[in-house]
Amino acid sequence: DTGVSQDPRHKITKRGQNVTFRCDPISEHNRLYWYRQTLGQGPEFLTYFQNEAQLEKSRLLSDRFSAERPKGSFSTLEIQRTEQGDSAMYLCASDASPGGEQFFGPGTRLTVL
């Protein structure tokens, strides 16, 4: 399968715990995006990378959130001190610049108890 993959698919955690998600983009894609989707809403942009550089972060990305893409391939999204409001689907997408079609992974569903 050469699509975008995400791991884990589901994560249940207790409030205050740290969680980390991984995204593997389509191999020839140099841009990688993170979005968050809550029930009944469309995805909302969080941040994006071009190669290993993080070029934009949304105001939604509080200081408890950090994302990395150390070698310009896979990316991780870490949430520290999780809160119940962090419960959502976290989606990763990738495309090839410029102007490429953006393809999404299956998402990681986070539940914070």
Partner 1 sequence: QKEVEQDPGPLSVPEGAIVSLNCTYSNSAFQYFMWYRQYSRKGPELLMYTYSSGNKEDGRFTAQVDKSSKYISLFIRDSQPSDSATYLCAMRLTGGGNKLTFGTGTQLKVEL
CA distance 101 to 64: 30
Q: Rounded distance, CA 49 to CA 25, Å? A: 11
- By CB under 8 A, residue 12 contacts partner 1: no
# of chain residues touching partner 1 (CB under 8 A): 31
Residue 81 region, left (φ>0) first, then alpha (ψ -120 to 50), else beta?
Answer: left
Site string for partner 1, 47-86 (x = CB under 8 A): -x-x----xx------------------------------
Options 11, 19, 25, 31; binder of partner 1; rule CB under 8 A: 31
Question: Under the phi-then-psi rule, with left for phi > 0, alpha for psi from -120 to 50, and beta for the rest, what region is 107?
Answer: left
Binding site for partner 1 (CB under 8 A): 4, 6, 31, 33, 35, 40-45, 48, 50, 55-56, 89, 91, 93, 95, 97-107, 109
